[in-house]
Amino acid sequence: MKKFVAMMMVAGLVLAFASMAPAADEYKIGAIFASTGPASMLGLPEKNTADMLVEEVNAAGGINGKPVKLIFYDTGGDATKTVTATNKLIKKDQVDVIIGPTTSGNSMAIIDIVEEAKVPLISCAASVSIVVPVKPYVFKTPQTDVMAVEKIYTKLKADGIKKIAILTVSDGFGDSGRVQLEKFAADYGISIVASERYGGKDTDMSAQLTKIKGTDAEAIICWGTNPGPAVVAKNRKQLGITIPLYNSHGVASKKFIELAGDAAEGTYLPAGKLLIVDQLAANDPQREVLSEYKTNYEKRFGGSVNTFGGHAYDAFKIAVMALEKADKNGTALRDEIEKITGFVGTGGIFNFSADDHNGLTKDGFVMIEISGGDWKLAE
């Protein structure tokens, strides 16, 4: 009888461990996006994309035969919520890698956390400060604000524009963009004759634009994410300002055109090739990837694909490629991300290295003009 009880106890332990096995025998990818709140126009496409990709990976057999579990937290674009979510992903959920956050300020808020935990972070935000100087466990997929500034300034120089006004949002993204706009202006023979700011929740920028109208600026550069830039475009038209308006890559979504209406006509922005994939040459190395992602996303979720969802696409794919080789070891996983080269993503062709945790060049950008309520390649 004692032997039978002992055998039953052993069997019970085996069953208990077996029931735990599936949870242990899986890859966990943490995702922190602003699917609600002011930045939801960026974060919701990111979440949708991650949901779509994890289903595709698991339907194809997972990674190395193991399923992938996506653990998502909505940050609402709030830094405090982002910090809380990151700690949960690391300590409670014990994820292997984290993709996101959506915004630059939120990304900067969690760098020390992921660095201390040695959990790789692949940010979906733009600021160059996220990866410069290099942080061992921090990577990012969007083109940097430095690249965006250089793309805009290259066009301004080609058009003979030498005096500009800048109008930037007062947040991490806007502040970083402002630094780069000021830093590189002289290199392109450009002088900033007016410099204004606006709040992320402001609904009228007429005062700032009136000041700009009284200067000899030949173009305006607005640096922010929706809805602010759409308000700027509308106020500019209402005030009869006719000098060109350039936006940052932060408005690379059809939502900007919807919000600004006909005030968006004739404005410019640098963006990834995803927005104008149908206008690319047939032999463009990104065309196949972009077309497939665009088709799948729009079929699944409706509406128009945008570059922000593309940032999550690239982050997820990079995480999967690294997990295929490094399994679950945090340091080894970090090393594998750093080794990725020649990856054709939505933001460009990624070539990471020990000195470059973004892996892109300004060639990932094209200059786009809004014409007829749609995107038009402007180069």
Q: DSSP string covering 57-98, please?
A: HHHTT-BTTB-EEEEEEE-TT-HHHHHHHHHIIIIIS--SEE
Q: Indicate if 229 and 262 belong to the same structural domain.
A: yes
Q: Can you give the pLDDT at residue 13?
A: 40
Tell whether 347 is covered by a domain. yes
Tell whether 351 is covered by a domain. yes
Q: Which two tokens stand for residue 99?
A: 């993709």
Tell whether 271 is covered by a domain. yes
Q: Indicate if 165 and 126 belong to the same structural domain.
A: no
Q: Can you give the pLDDT at residue 24?
A: 55
User: Percent of the chain beyond pLDDT 90?
Assistant: 90
| Domain span holding position 218 | 146-278+365-377
Q: Can you give the pLDDT at residue 327?
A: 73
Q: Indicate if 219 and 186 belong to the same structural domain.
A: yes
Tell whether 199 is covered by a domain. yes
State which residues of the chain have pLDDT below 70. Answer: 1-24
Query: Of the candidates 302, 317, 375, 326, which has an alpha carbon nearest to the alpha carbon of residue 347?
Result: 317
In angstroms, the CA 163 to CA 105 distance is 29
Contact by Cβ (8 Å): 70, 315: no
Contact by Cβ (8 Å): 235, 207: no
Q: Indicate if 373 and 227 belong to the same structural domain.
A: yes
Q: Indicate if 109 and 209 belong to the same structural domain.
A: no
Place of tokens 């990624």: 350
Q: Indicate if 224 and 296 belong to the same structural domain.
A: no
Query: Of the candidates 225, 238, 246, 221, which has an alpha carbon nearest to the alpha carbon of residue 307?
Result: 225
**What residues have CB less than 8 Å from 39, skipping those under 6 apart?**
77, 102, 103, 225
Helix axes 40-59, 287-301, angle to 10 degrees: 100
Tell whether 7 is covered by a domain. no
Tell whether 14 is covered by a domain. no
Q: Indicate if 268 and 301 belong to the same structural domain.
A: no
Contact by Cβ (8 Å): 106, 33: no
Tell whether 27 is covered by a domain. yes
Q: Indicate if 118 and 130 belong to the same structural domain.
A: yes
> Which CATH number fits the domain that encloses residue 174?
3.40.50.2300
Q: Please give the model's pTM, rounded to 2 decimal places.
A: 0.88
In angstroms, the CA 122 to CA 31 distance is 10
Label residues 174-185 b or e (16+ Cβ within 10 Å = b): bbbbbbbbeeeb
Domain count, the chain: 2
Q: Indicate if 185 and 207 belong to the same structural domain.
A: yes
Tell whether 355 is covered by a domain. yes
Q: Indicate if 91 and 220 belong to the same structural domain.
A: no
Q: Indicate if 120 and 243 belong to the same structural domain.
A: no
Place of tokens 């830039």: 229
CB atoms within 10 A of CB 56: 12
Q: Indicate if 348 and 206 belong to the same structural domain.
A: no
